[in-house]
């Protein structure tokens, strides 16, 4: 493929709710452009963009896929993205390196929750966009109803640029409202607008021309004088209005029947911004600065995806903003402050890699086997280092515990988890010492299941995913005194250690303390550290359900010793024994972690969410309305929200989001304590 300048490159993300047909449409685009010779199908796993075994197994897109093709003298870098909300990190990465977006909507399903989410992302990123109503050939496809939904949700700036000829089984072509011509069949045979559509087409065209003219003073003047606007004027005005976010044209067609896809490619070519019209957002002293991309400036490239492959190694995808990246060169990683050796560069199309000598400004490519570079890093020259603003990924909200299946899996687990985190920055891994578990956190359950499958397939590491254990604690509610005498006589030297401890409850969050109030040498000084060691070991397991003990002060105040039979080990045993006895007498209770939770939901679901919160022993602290949403703040036991992302998705049909942070520990109610103790006993005895 030849090199293209900034003005002749279009970087476009395909976005939608899951199942709207992005992958099928991207396949037809590649076929129409001659980039592939055979049209693949999602159903039989033969598409260019869905090639990962996990995608073939689930028949959904899981990773973004780069699909370059040439169309009418311009290079289109189409990025197919997942529609399933668990893989939103891939969507954010694709949008970050695109100047425009195509939002696909199914003509039968209409505007769905995923459509609303990607629209919100585009608004935030100020990304110019087109809407494509796909699947006009499907049963129950209804163009006018879908347009009505789009305008209700996203505003009157969304206007049809095309009308369908027929629908469902009788869908056969498209009317272009700018040319007022009909185009039927796969080969877009030109004809006159059908008589049945003439009046509707004229009405829609009038609204479209008026909206375009309103954006430009010269055009509105000409329009109000009743003069006809030329095709060039209308096209140019539409392009400006789209770039400014004042208009979002609605196109239509069917990827399955290959109707309207070539016209969608024309619209991307004609109306979406080129790479030259994009902006380079850089960070200087944590402040953002913007500049125009330039082929003549020193190299600046952003890494937007990393894949780990056991055979090829690491494959790093990047977008060049300034300058050019050259094969067999050296670059500077501004984030890691280290040099990287660049080997052979590739132009990537799905899983296929074509070696290239150079990737210029505005374009995208990949390189294998970089050592320190990760997603979000900037590759530049050491003489002119700069940092491009990284991709903003959402915080993980759903966690599962990762348990290796075998001893061999345990040995390889750490390395495999590190590679998973490199691949997907929405996954985080941490160890919880209290429960002795490794926790993997992400956006949703499907994402973590896919990660587990990949660990098995790529690195041969078998894992089980389980709901994480709650790190309960124990403490006492009243002071107690306890005595323990460790005495053994077995011939020769015996064993003797005698300790009296006083236990006191401390305020929540104090941890534990050890004090020494021995007077008169009741216990020799050199044995007191052994008593403390015994207490510190005993503190790891309480007497109620064998959870660690917190918020307690243990004071050794008396005891006795034997000049021959006493030793450090004897006093360690005696210290632990006295502590256990004191716990039992101090009216022990269980403590549970309480989390701060902030739930953002559409106003319609507020009542349902608060009702559900009440069943989870939550205390609602307050509520703030923010642009059609309510932000509900509450405190809730961690045990009640281990699978909250699933509950929230179910109640709000995927429209809600939440974040949590640890607040404090507090006493578990008596009826819940009984269940926890019973479950813990069963776990320890198994």
**pLDDT digit string (tens) for 432-489?**
988 899 999 999 999 999 999 999 999 999 999 999 999 999 999 999 999 999 998 7
Together in a domain, 577 and 600: no
Question: Which has more confidence, 229 or 300?
Answer: 300
Task: Examine the fold and report which residue of 586, 613, 644 is the final residue of a domain before the chain moves on.
Answer: 586
Q: What are phi and psi of 602, to 5 degrees?
A: -60, 150
Q: Looking at residues 640-657, what average pLDDT do you find? A: 93
- Please state, as a whole number, how many other Cβ atoms lie within 10 Å of the Cβ of residue 172: 19
Residue 130 lies in a domain: yes
Residue 232, domain member (yes or no): no
Within this chain, do residues 624 and 512 fall inside the same structural domain, yes or no? Answer: no
pLDDT at residue 230 greater than cutoff 90 = no
Q: Kindly state whether residues 574 and 633 are assigned to the same domain.
A: no
Tell me which of 365, 388, 411 is where a domain ends.
388
- Each residue's pLDDT tens digit, 499-555: 999 999 999 999 999 999 998 889 999 999 999 999 999 999 999 999 999 999 999
List the CATH number of the domain containing 431: 3.30.70.870
Cβ atoms of 21 and 250 closer than 8 Å: no
Q: What is the pLDDT of residue 462?
A: 96
Rounded CA-CA distance 579/535 in Å is 6
In a domain, residue 213? The reply is no
Kindly tell me if the per-residue pLDDT of 142 is higher than 90: yes
What pLDDT digit, counting tens, does each position of 126-138 carry? Answer: 999 999 999 999 9
Report, as an integer, the average pLDDT of 645-655: 92
Q: Which two tokens stand for residue 615?
A: 């069943």
Q: Which two tokens stand for residue 639?
A: 């045990």
Domain check: are 339 and 259 in the same one? no
What are the distances in angstroms from CA 277 to CA 119, 184, 220, 597?
21, 34, 25, 41
Confidence of residue 51 (pLDDT cuts 50, 70, 90): confident
Mean pLDDT over 152-160 rounds to 95
Regarding whether 436 and 340 lie in a shared domain, the answer is no
> What pTM, to 2 d.p., does this model score?
0.90
Contact 315, 368 (CB under 8 A): yes
Q: How far apart are CA 356 and CA 353, in angstroms?
A: 9
Q: Are strands 173-176 and 181-184 parallel, antiparallel or unpaired?
A: antiparallel
User: Any idea what the CATH number is for the domain that residue 60 is in?
Assistant: 3.40.50.300
| 153 in the same domain as 32 | yes
Q: Find, among 422, 401, 419, 406, the residue nearest to 459 by Cα.
A: 419
Q: Using CB atoms within 10 Å of the CB of residue 564, give its burial: 0 to 12 exposed, 13 to 18 middle, 19+ buried.
A: exposed
pLDDT digits (tens, 9 = 90+) for 231-279: 888 888 899 999 999 999 999 999 999 999 999 999 999 999 999 999 9
How many independent structural domains does the chain possess? 5
DSSP 499-551: EEEEEEE--TT--EEEEE---TTSS-GGGHHHHHHHHHHHTTS-SSSSPPB-S
- The CATH number of residue 539's host domain is 3.30.230.10
Give residue 666's pLDDT. Answer: 95
pLDDT of residue 31 exceeding 90, the answer is yes
CA dist list (Å): 95 to 34, 165, 227: 25, 32, 40
The answer on 285 and 272 residing in a single domain is no
In contact, 335 and 301? CB cutoff 8 Å: no
What the block records as the tokens of 568 is 């450090």
Q: State the average pLDDT over residues 572-591.
A: 96
How many residues comprise the chain?
686
Coil, strand, or helix at residue 661? strand
CA distance 27 to 268: 16
Q: Which residue has the higher pLDDT, 623 or 628?
A: 623
Structural domain contains residue 366: yes
In whole angstroms, what is the distance from residue 635 CA to residue 663 CA? 8
Higher pLDDT, 490 or 125: 125
Mean pLDDT of the residues in the chain: 93
In a domain, 47, yes or no: yes
Q: Judge if 563 and 679 occupy the same domain.
A: no
Residues 419 and 539 both lie in one domain = no
Give the pair of three-digit tokens for residue 458. 């790529």
What pLDDT does 542 receive?
93
Binning pLDDT at 50, 70 and 90, where does residue 67 land? very high
Residues 134, 17: contact at Cβ < 8 Å? Answer: no
Of 59, 64, 62, nearest to 41 (Cα)?
59
Indicate if 527 and 558 belong to the same structural domain.
yes
Query: Are residues 447 and 333 both part of a single domain?
Result: no
Q: Please give the backbone phi and psi of residue 536, each rounded to the nearest 5 degrees, phi first.
A: -65, -30
Percent of the chain with pLDDT over 90: 85
Among the three residues 553, 586, 619, which one is the final residue of a domain in this structure? 586
Whether residue 491 is predicted with pLDDT greater than 70 in this model: the reply is no
Identify the pLDDT of residue 310: 65
Domain-embedded: residue 595 = yes
How far is residue 173 CA from its own chain's centroid?
38
Name the residue among 254, 188, 350 with its Cα closest to residue 21: 254
- What are the tens digits of pLDDT across the range 167-222? 999 999 999 999 999 999 988 999 999 999 999 999 999 999 888 888 877 888 77
pLDDT of residue 686: 67
**Could you tell me if 35 and 134 lie in one domain?**
yes
Structural domain including 12 reads 6-194+247-277
Contact 304, 319 (CB under 8 A): yes
- Can you give the CATH number for the domain in which 353 is found? 2.40.30.10
Q: Examine residue 461 and state whether it is found in any structural domain, yes or no.
A: yes
Residue 235 placed within a domain: no
């Amino acid at each position: 493929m030849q090199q293209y300048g900034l003005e002749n490159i279009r970087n476009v993300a395909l976005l939608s709710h899951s199942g709207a047909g992005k992958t099928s449409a991207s396949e037809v685009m590649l076929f129409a452009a001659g980039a592939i010779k055979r049209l693949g199908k999602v159903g039989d796993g033969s598409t260019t963009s869905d090639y990962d075994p996990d995608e073939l197994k689930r028949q959904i897109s899981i990773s973004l896929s780069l699909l370059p093709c040439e169309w009418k003298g311009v290079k289109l870098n189409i990025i197919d993205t997942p529609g399933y909300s668990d893989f939103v990190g891939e969507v954010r990465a694709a949008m970050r390196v695109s100047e425009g977006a195509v939002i696909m909507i199914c003509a039968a399903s209409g505007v769905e929750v995923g459509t609303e989410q990607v629209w919100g992302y585009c608004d935030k990123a100020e990304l110019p966009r087109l809407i494509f109503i796909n699947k006009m050939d499907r049963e129950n496809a209804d163009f006018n109803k879908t347009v009505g939904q789009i305008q209700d949700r996203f505003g009157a700036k969304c206007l049809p640029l095309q009308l369908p000829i027929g629908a469902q089984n009788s869908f056969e072509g498209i009317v272009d409202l700018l040319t007022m011509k009909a185009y039927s069949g796969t080969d877009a045979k030109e004809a006159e607008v059908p008589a049945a559509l003439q009046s509707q087409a004229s009405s829609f065209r009038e609204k479209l021309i008026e909206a375009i003219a309103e954006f430009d003073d010269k055009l509105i003047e000409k329009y109000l004088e009743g003069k006809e606007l030329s095709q060039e004027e209308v096209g140019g005005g539409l392009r400006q209005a789209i770039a400014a976010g004042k208009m979002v044209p609605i196109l239509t067609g069917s990827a399955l029947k290959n109707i309207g896809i070539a016209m969608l490619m024309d619209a991307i070519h004609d109306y979406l911004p080129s790479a030259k019209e994009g902006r380079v957002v850089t960070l200087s002293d944590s402040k953002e600065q913007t500049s125009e991309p330039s082929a003549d400036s020193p190299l600046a490239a952003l890494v937007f995806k990393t894949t780990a492959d056991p055979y090829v190694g690491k494959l790093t995808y990047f977008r060049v903003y300034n300058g050019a990246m050259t094969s067999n060169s050296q670059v500077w990683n501004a984030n890691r402050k280290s040099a990287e050796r660049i080997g052979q560069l590739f132009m990537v199309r799905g899983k296929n890699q074509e070696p290239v000598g150079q990737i210029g400004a505005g374009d995208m490519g990949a390189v294998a086997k970089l050592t320190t570079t990760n997603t979000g890093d900037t590759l530049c020259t050491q003489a002119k280092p700069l940092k491009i603003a990284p991709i903003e990924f959402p915080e993980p909200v759903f966690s599962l515990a990762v348990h290796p299946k075998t001893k061999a899996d345990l040995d390889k687990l750490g390395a495999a988890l590190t590679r998973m985190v490199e691949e997907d920055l929405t996954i985080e891994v941490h160890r919880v010492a209290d429960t002795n578990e490794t926790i993997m956190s992400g956006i949703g359950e499907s994402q973590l299941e896919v990660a587990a499958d990949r660990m098995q397939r790529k690195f041969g590491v078998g894992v089980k995913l389980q709901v994480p254990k709650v790190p309960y604690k124990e403490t006492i509610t009243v002071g107690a005194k306890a005595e323990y005498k460790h005495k053994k006589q077995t011939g020769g030297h015996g064993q003797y250690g005698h300790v009296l401890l006083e236990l006191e409850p401390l305020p929540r969050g104090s941890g534990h303390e050890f004090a020494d109030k021995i007077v008169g040498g009741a216990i020799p000084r050199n044995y007191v550290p052994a008593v403390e060691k015994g207490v510190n070991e005993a503190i790891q397991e309480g007497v109620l359900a064998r959870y660690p003990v917190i918020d307690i002060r243990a004071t050794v105040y008396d005891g006795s010793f034997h000049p021959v039979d006493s030793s450090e080990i004897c006093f360690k045993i005696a210290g632990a024994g006295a502590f256990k006895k004191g716990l039992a007498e101090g009216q022990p209770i269980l403590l549970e972690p309480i989390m701060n939770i902030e739930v953002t939901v559409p106003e319609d679901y507020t009542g349902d969410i608060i009702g559900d919160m009440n069943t989870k022993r939550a205390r609602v602290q307050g509520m703030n309305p923010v642009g059609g949403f309510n932000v509900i703040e509450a405190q809730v036991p961690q045990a009640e929200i281990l699978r909250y992302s699933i509950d929230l998705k179910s109640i709000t049909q995927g429209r809600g989001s939440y974040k949590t942070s640890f607040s404090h520990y507090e006493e578990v109610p008596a009826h819940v304590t009984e269940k926890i103790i019973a479950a813990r006993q069963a776990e320890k005895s198994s």
